[in-house]
Structure 1
Amino acid sequence: MKKYFALSAMLLISISTLVAEEPGKLIWETSVGYYCDASAALAEDGTIYITSSNSKLDAISTTGTKKWSFNSMSDIKSSPAIGSDGTIYFGSRDRHFYAVTPEGKEKWHFRTGGWVDSSPAIAADGTIFFGSWDKAFYAIDSNGKQKWKMETGGPIDSSPVISADGTVYIGSHDQKFYALTPDGKLKWAFETKGPIVASPAIAMDGTIYISSVDGNLYALNPDGSMKWKFHTGGTRTSSPVLDKDGIIYIGVNNFYYSIKPDGTKNADFGNDDFDGSAAVMDNGVVVFGSQQGTLYAFNSQFEIQWYLALGGAMTCSPTISSNGMIYVGSNAFKFRAIKGPSGLAKSSWPCFRGNNKQTGRVVETK
């Protein structure tokens, strides 16, 4: 009889463990009291950094408890990025750009002439790049000193990206997409027929993917010439991401598309409204949230793997840890952890900003 009960207990524990580890299961949620419409950044020690509509940068543990909060003076739309020394960088609508220590203390702030909604990109040498609604694109050093700035013809809320050769790319409301050298010299500018509000993605061969409010997704060569364009017809702010085979994923209005590297449609899914970017997991599963509050997981053919109705519009992009935990916020004042099957895909740009630290820089993959 004792053996029977011992075996039964072991089976119950095993079943419970399997259920707990089933992909798509909500592991924890924490009330944050504000809209989470920026993507989280993950530190090497597992700390999760999120920004919010109530002016805060929060540090959250892997169990969902808040470690500390840092206050700016206005809404934050900029997703945080983590430097090599653990410093957290982000912009605020108080017109400042901030550097905060891993302990939650301000290192410095840099004032611009407008809202800073642009998420920063961090170069290998520590230079930080970001745009502002004052129509300027800034490069500052890790001490908060301006190295250079470039004026554009419109506000900048798109986020910059950095290629493997150090070229810096940024889009503007002036309908132009710019390629700059690390010291701020213009290499070329590509003109679309609408503002550029989403952020680019970079393939391992150097191809740059950008979307425009003109309703097109563009593929550009590193010299600025166009390889192709794909008409989406939409104007949302979802940024493209790539799987390990180079397939591009982007949400536009009521559809999510997967597009082959040659510019032809691979598949689409239309059942909701989409603003956030996707994240691609190492097993090929693509995860993205919707305006209706559903977190979806599909394969590259948009065959559904699982979904989770969470409530509250998800306009941010999921962040995926190395052990497959999916972190995502919503407009329901909640930040959540959901079990996923694997870590990020080994591609050049598997998620918004390219990696878990949100540095906006291509990292070589094996």
Structure 2
Amino acid sequence: MFLFNKYRNAQQDNVSGNKTPVINWKCFLNTNPVYGAESTAVLDQKGNLYFGSHSGNFYSLDNKGKIRWSFLTKEKIYSSPLLLGDRVYFAGGDGFFYCIDLDGNLQWLIDLSKQKGRLKNSKKLNSILHFPFTYDIQKKKNIIYKSWSSPNYTDGRIFITGFGTGLHCFDEEGKSLWKYDLGFPRYQLSGVAIDDNDHIFCASRRGFAYSFTKEGGLNWKKKIKAFWEPWGNPVVCKIQNTIYFFFAKGEKKGWITALDNKGNLKWEKEAGAIRGSCAVSRDGTHIFLCDFQGFIYKLDATNGEIIRSKQINSVSRGLWITPTLDGDNNLLLATKDGKSSGRLIKLNQDLEIIWQFENNKILSVPVINKSGDIYIGSWDGCYYSLKTI
């Protein structure tokens, strides 16, 4: 599951080692041109991995790094899968929500991007109206992927966002239980977080934060930053009774808003452009996050005060990532240090570097297995298992 639990707090249970990583195995994903896998992998009970790639392929590898199967979609996959029993669920950049069994067989797919009214069948009109919100100045192209988010789950209900209506709730068989219109712009970015009361939290491209009951009732809606982009998934901190929301305007300005579960403001803070979420310390006292200026921050979870910061790099979009905590409360952070260079870095909570593993750019959140091995996707076109113990 993306960021490892329904709270999206980026806490992993397993421990990584303090030795500089060596490669257990690497698997070339057989694409030309070469693409990277940025989807966070999930593991089944046999140690098989499941993840998506920018090639549009969804992969399963065995625990020795051999490709078991691949499933081709029509667009890049940013979504990290949800594993439930003998099925995996993920969203594609093509706007479809997929359910596949563990042998790679499609069980069902649902088009998330259907609309009603005058925009229902008007691709051209949609493109014109959304152009100010979808044009990437740096890449000089229109970015119109129809789903960026990763599914979340509670009590037999799966939640996913995408282009069109916005927020959807399905059962495990793909039956629509409810949906909510998040409004214009319709290219939604972030997914949902869920608390222990099964309240659903999400943010819209319009700049609003929301809370729903699991049955679809609106608890509250709060305007944060009009038309700022909520790239980062909301994050729940149980100990602080806080939900953190992340917004960015362009590639220099960022905003963090901390609300309680009633929608009341606890604190807010300006930052550099944030395109990820935060990791929450297990005692609930601190959060860790990154910005586009290449900094990782340690913030006081109660008031947003910056306790410590460290510049990791100064490359454009170098930290488009969420840090994660291992079972010993150390941080793992993936970087893009150049067009074809990056690192996996382990830091302690004082942001002191323990080790670094150099590679091509790495934009996937690292996953740790029970043996302390780390799995990452790289933009050299390979998927890696790294030994750290």
Is TM-score (shorter-chain normalized) higher than 0.5? yes
What CA distance in whole angstroms lies between the structure 2 residues aligned with 1:230 and 1:42? 36
User: Once the two structures are superposed, what CA deviation does each residue of 1:50-79 show, in whole Å capped at 9, x if it has no partner?
Assistant: 101122111112221111112222221111
Alpha-carbon distance between aligned partners in 1 of 2:214 and 2:190, rounded to the nearest angstrom: 18
Distance change in 2, residues 1:94/1:163 (3 Å): same
The counterpart of 1:242, out of the listed 271, 280, 283, is 280
Match of 1:300 in 2: 349
Q: 1:170 to 1:21 in 2, by over 3 A?
A: closer
Distance 1:340 1:227, change over 3 A: farther
Mapping for residues 74-153 of structure 1, pairs under 5 Å:
74-83=75-84, 85-113=85-113, 115-123=146-154, 125-153=155-183
Residue number in structure 1 paired with 2:375: 327
- Following superposition of structure 1 onto structure 2, how do residues 62-73 of structure 1 map, counting pairs within 5 Å? 62-73=63-74
For residues 268 and 332 of structure 1, the distance between their equivalents in structure 2, rounded to whole angstroms, comes to 30
1:131-180 superposed Cα distances (whole Å, 9 cap, x missing partner)? 11224211111111111110012331201111111011111111011111
The aligned counterpart of 1:255 is: 295
- Equivalents in 2 of 1:168, 1:44: separation in Å? 28
Letter in 2 for 1:337: S
Structure 1 residue aligned with 2:359: 310
Q: Report % sequence identity.
A: 24
Count of aligned positions: 318
Equivalent position to 1:26, from 23, 33, 36: 23
| Other-structure match for 1:358 | none
Aligned equivalent of 2:196: 164
Who is 2:120 aligned against? none
For residue 333 of structure 2, what is the aligned residue in structure 1? 288
Which has the greater radius of gyration?
1
Distance 2:388 2:192 in 1: 28
How far does residue 25 in structure 1 lie from its aligned partner after superposition? 2.5
Say whether residues 1:175 and 2:207 are aligned partners: yes
- Paired position in structure 2 for 1:216: 255
Letter in 2 for 1:120: P
1:334 is matched by which residue type in structure 2? C
* Conservation of the 8 A alpha-carbon contact between 2:160 and 2:167: yes
Q: Distance in 2 between matches of 1:211 and 1:265?
A: 16
| Aligned partners of 1:60 and 1:66 also within 8 Å | yes
User: Quick check: 2:195–2:238 contact (8 Å CA) kept in 1?
Assistant: no
Is contact 1:135–1:156 with CA below 8 Å preserved after alignment?
A: no
In 2: Cα distance, 1:61 partner to 1:260 partner: 40
Alpha-carbon separation, structure 2, partners of 1:217 and 1:60: 37
2:138 corresponds in structure 1 to: none
Q: Which amino acid aligns with 2:23?
A: L
**1:51-70 correspondence to structure 2 within 5 Å:** 51-70=52-71
Partner Cα separation in structure 2 for residue 202 and residue 26 of structure 1? 34
The 2-side partners of 1:189 and 1:330 are apart by 38
- Residue pair 1:116, 1:131 contacting (<8 A) in 2 also: yes
1:336 aligns with 2:371: no
Do the aligned residues in 2 keep the contact of 1:172 with 1:197 (CA within 8 Å)? no
* Residues 203-226 of structure 1, C-alpha deviations (whole Å, 9 max, x = no match): 123311121115122221111111
Residue 275 of structure 1 contacts residue 316 of structure 1 at CA under 8 Å; is this kept in 2?
no
Using the size of structure 1 for normalisation, the TM-score is 0.83
Q: CA RMSD in A?
A: 1.7
Contact 1:55 1:73 in 2 (8 A): yes
What is the one-letter code of the residue matched to 1:297?
A: K
CA contact (8 A) 1:128 1:142 kept: yes
Listed one character per residue, the Cα deviations across residues 269-306 of structure 1 (whole Å, up to 9, x for unaligned) are 10312011111112221001111211111001111100
Structure 2 residue identity aligned to 1:237: R
**Structure 2 Cα separation of the partners of residues 22 and 108 of structure 1:** 43
Measured at CA, do residues 309 and 69 of structure 1 come closer, stay the same or move farther in structure 2, by a change above 3 Å?
A: same
**Cα distance in structure 2, aligned partners of 1:21 and 1:220:** 36
Q: What TM-score, normalized by structure 2, do the two folds share?
A: 0.78
Instruction: Provide the rounded CA distance (Å) in 1 between the counterparts of 2:272 and 2:165.
Output: 26
| Structure-1 separation of matches of 2:321 and 2:62 | 24
Corresponding residue of 2:6 = none
| One-letter amino acid matched to 1:138 | H
Change (3 A) 1:258 1:250: same
- For residues 111 and 350 of structure 2, what CA distance do their matches in structure 1 show? 46
Distance of 2:323 and 2:346 partners within structure 1: 10
Match of 2:13 in 1: none
In 2, the alpha carbon distance for the partners of 1:158 and 1:173 equals: 9
> Which SS does the other structure have where 1:129 is aligned?
strand
Which residue identity does 2:113 align to in structure 1?
G
TM superposition shift of 1:23: 4.5
Show structure 2 runs of 5+ residues with no match: 1-16, 115-145
Contact 2:20 2:357 in 1 (8 A): no
Verify: 1:232 aligned to 2:271, yes or no: yes
